[in-house]
Chain A
């Protein structure tokens, strides 16, 4: 049972490049989400999904796309990287609210630098 797995751990991009951050979970969680964490700040929600084929925007969705074709995977796509997207990105998953077991499990993060 690996939990939430994120790849890559580190990435450097040039402005304008695109890339996909991968996230996979093996806990059969319906809910998956992406957060970014900037220095001195808490985690801010980018996008989330309550099941395969369903996604929605969080607090800071601009510049990011997501899709959820399977229960296990929730990739985050940066369409055209900007220096403002330099951050640490965390993927998290959980069971749905109302199940009395909603705590989020986080991956170990992807540190992204955009030059």
Chain B
């Protein structure tokens, strides 16, 4: 069935290093993707989004890459900081006449000092 999944449930990186979080999706009709960050005890917070007519989009210290050929999405965080420790979710905004976001299970990012 259709799903949005992540390759790794946990990721640990050294402070100052770059982080890459990956996500796979199965619906080739998906045309909108979003990354969210969720800190403990809080609601998800928007990081960056990308439409299917783009393959790369950059924000502040974050870059999202979209590879439609292999249905893969990644979030790159540059120079990770302790405040980047959180669970990161990718979400698939499938345009099937309904506005629905389907979320993956999340990757927990831990920053080591």
Residues of B within 8 A of A43 (CB): 44, 89, 103
Shortest beta-carbon distance, A87 to chain B, in Å?
14
How many angstroms from the CA of A56 to the CA of B104 in the assembled complex?
21
| New A-B pairs, 6, CB < 8 Å, besides A106-B44, A109-B43 | A40-B105, A48-B100, A90-B44, A103-B34, A104-B101, A105-B46
Shortest beta-carbon distance, B94 to chain A, in Å?
10
Given A97-B93, A97-B95, A97-B99, A42:B106 Cβ within 8 A: yes
Residues of A within 8 A of B103 (CB): 35, 42-44
Shortest beta-carbon distance, A36 to chain B, in Å?
11
A interface list, Cβ under 8 A from B:
4, 31, 33, 35, 40-45, 48, 50, 56, 58-59, 90, 92, 96-97, 102-109
Residues of B within 8 A of A102 (CB): 32, 49, 93, 99
Chain B residue with Cβ nearest A35: B103
Residues of B within 8 A of A106 (CB): 36, 43-45
